Amino acid sequence: MAKKPMPPMYDMHRFDEDTRIRTIGGVLEASPGKVLGIVVEQDGEKGDRYLKKLLEWFPNAELVKRVPNCPAKGLETIQVRKKQEIK
């Protein structure tokens, strides 16, 4: 069986936090049905802060789940997606 290709990854460490969150929100808006993973340091506040801003600035965003110590110890993956429209 063919191995599934990895999704694209973007390193945004050079940008300030607000620019990162706006970029993530823009990608969410343009990618209905896709789940995006955001990897942040698991310092107790950063993940909460990112999620709060993202949900405030992009009302169509929703949390899928948070995964501690993923992809490595001390990091957290926050999975978000654009809310599904109910027709």
Residue closest to 24 by CA, chosen among 5, 6, 9, 4: 9
Tokens of 6: 């990895």
* Model pLDDT, residue 7: 61
pLDDT in tens, the chain (87 residues): 566 665 667 778 889 999 999 999 999 999 888 999 999 998 778 899 999 999 999 999 999 999 999 888 999 999 999 988 776
* Model pLDDT, residue 54: 96
C-alpha distances (whole Å) from 12 to each of 19, 20, 21, 59, 83 are 9, 6, 10, 22, 24
* Model pLDDT, residue 6: 56
Domains of the chain with bracketed CATH: 17-82 (3.30.110.10)
SS3 56: helix
